[in-house]
Structure 1
Amino acid sequence: MLSVDPIPFTLLISVYHGDSPRFFADAFTSAVVGQTRMPAEVVLVQDGPIAEDLAAAISAAIATSPVAVTHVVLQHNAGLATALTVGLAHASHDVIARMDADDVALPERFERQLPLIESGYDLVGTGMYEFDHEGRILGTRVPPVGRASIAAAARLRDPFNHPTVVYRSSAVQRAGGYRDLALMEDYLLFARMIQVGARVANLAEPLVMYRVDAGAYNRRGGWRLFASEVRLQRELHSGGFTTGYEHVRNVMVRGLYRFVPTVIRRPLYRLVFVRSVTLEEEQNVVIGNMGDEVVAS
Structure 2
Amino acid sequence: MSTYQGDDPEHCRQALQGICDNSVLPDDLVLVLDGPAPEPLIAAIASFSHRLPLRLVHLSENRGLGEALAVGLEHCRYNWVARFDADDICMPDRFERQLAFIAENPHVDAFSSPVEEFRESPGETNRLLKSVPCGSHALAVYARRRNPLNHMAVMFRKDRVLAAGNYQGDACFEDYALWVRLLQQGACLDNMAESTVWVRAGRSMVMRRGGWRYARAEYDVQRKFLTSGFIGFPEFIRNLAVRIPVRLLSVGLRTGIYAVCLRRTVR
Q: TM-score over 0.5 for the alignment? A: yes
**Cα deviations by residue, 1:212-248 (Å, 9 ceiling, x for unpaired):** 1421111111111111111101111111110111011
Identity, in percent, stands at: 37
Q: Does 1:175 align with 2:164?
A: yes
Letter in 2 for 1:115: A
Q: Given that residues 101 and 192 in structure 2 are in contact (C-alpha distance below 8 angstroms), is that contact kept between their aligned partners in structure 1?
A: no
Q: Given that residues 117 and 123 in structure 1 are in contact (C-alpha distance below 8 angstroms), is that contact kept between their aligned partners in structure 2?
A: no
1:1-297 equivalences in 2 (<5 Å): 13-31=1-19, 33-65=20-52, 68-118=53-103, 119-135=106-122, 136-137=124-125, 138-278=127-267
Secondary structure of residue in 2 paired with 1:269: helix
Relative to total residues, which structure has the larger strand share, 1 or 2? 1
**Cα deviations by residue, 1:37-80 (Å, 9 ceiling, x for unpaired):** 22111001000111111111111111332xx2211011111100
Runs of 4+ in 1 over 6 A off after TM superposition: none
Question: What stretches of structure 1 of length at least 5 have no aligned partner?
Answer: 1-12, 279-297
Letter in 1 for 2:163: R
Alpha-carbon distance between aligned partners in 2 of 1:141 and 1:251, rounded to the nearest angstrom: 21
Alpha-carbon distance between aligned partners in 2 of 1:175 and 1:157, rounded to the nearest angstrom: 20
Secondary structure of residue in 1 paired with 2:114: strand
| TM-score normalised over the length of structure 2 | 0.94
Alpha-carbon distance between aligned partners in 2 of 1:274 and 1:201, rounded to the nearest angstrom: 20
Q: Given that residues 16 and 49 in structure 1 are in contact (C-alpha distance below 8 angstroms), is that contact kept between their aligned partners in structure 2?
A: yes
Alpha-carbon distance between aligned partners in 1 of 2:170 and 2:36, rounded to the nearest angstrom: 21
Question: What stretches of structure 2 of length at least 5 have no aligned partner?
Answer: none
Alpha-carbon distance between aligned partners in 1 of 2:100 and 2:121, rounded to the nearest angstrom: 34
RMSD of aligned Cα (Å)? 1.3
Alpha-carbon distance between aligned partners in 1 of 2:137 and 2:253, rounded to the nearest angstrom: 31
| TM-score normalised over the length of structure 1 | 0.85
Alpha-carbon distance between aligned partners in 2 of 1:128 and 1:261, rounded to the nearest angstrom: 25
